[in-house]
Amino acid sequence: MTFPWLNASAADIPNTARSLLGWRLSAHGVTIRLTEVEAYAGTGVDPASHAHRGPTPRTRVMFGPPGYAYTYFVFGVHWCLNIVCGHEGEAAAVLLRAGEIVDGIDIARDRRGNVPTQELARGPALLVTALGVGREANGTSMIDGKGPLTLTPPADPVPAEAIESGPRVGVASAHDVPWRFWIAGDPTVSTYRRHTPRRRRQPSR
């Protein structure tokens, strides 16, 4: 099996993210075709990245080796899933934002509830829920078949002209960087919501 992005540098992370569209990700009886992803670089380069200030116990997995899962908890409620990309020692990862369930729809619906098929994995937290993974996937390989997640390339890559890009979602810094990529017109792609800074509460007088 060929994984050309394993040899890419962190500087190539936007191209790596684009190339992962159409790939299939499987776990616990469900397979998802990736339709939306978001790229993040690392130390001193990308202020929106968890690894911007260097490795920590939480972000160490982002520094490689490539092909491993980086999961994190958001809002005290949801898990999100990234695949680590680039040379070992260079932090870079691609957030898996949305996808189409191509196998195990009934299993995914048991996990997600009675929602329209196109919404089963329409968003990063929903994608993780549909796959039935969480903390246990962090730091496990997504390419050697030994972890809970298995990533496989598509038979036919998504044509470049079918891919669109735009601002990232849900980040306080560098949110206008156009490193979110999706398959144009696909109904499983999440709805874009521009980042809105939180207003500080004014002290009462």
| Structural domain span for residue 25 | 4-183
Whether 86 is covered by a domain: the verdict is yes
| DSSP states along 39-86 | EE--TTT-TTSTTTT---TTTGGGGS-TTBEEEEEETTTEEEEEEE-S
Whether 123 is covered by a domain: the verdict is yes
Whether 193 is covered by a domain: the verdict is no
Residues 6+ apart with CB under 8 A from 185: none
Whether 125 is covered by a domain: the verdict is yes
Count the domains in the chain.
Answer: 1
Whether 91 is covered by a domain: the verdict is yes
Q: Residue 62 sits in a domain of what CATH number?
A: 3.10.300.10
Q: Structure pTM?
A: 0.90
pLDDT tens for the 205 residues of the chain, in order: 668 788 888 889 999 999 999 999 999 999 999 999 999 987 777 776 777 777 787 889 989 899 999 999 886 678 999 999 988 888 899 999 999 999 999 999 999 999 999 999 999 999 999 999 999 999 999 999 999 999 999 989 999 999 999 998 877 677 788 999 999 999 999 987 765 655 555 555 4
Kindly tell me the burial class for residue 57, based on how many C-beta atoms sit within 10 Å of its own C-beta (0-12, 13-18, 19 or more): exposed
Whether 35 is covered by a domain: the verdict is yes
Whether 148 is covered by a domain: the verdict is yes
Q: What pLDDT is stored for residue 157 in this prediction?
A: 92
Whether 89 is covered by a domain: the verdict is yes
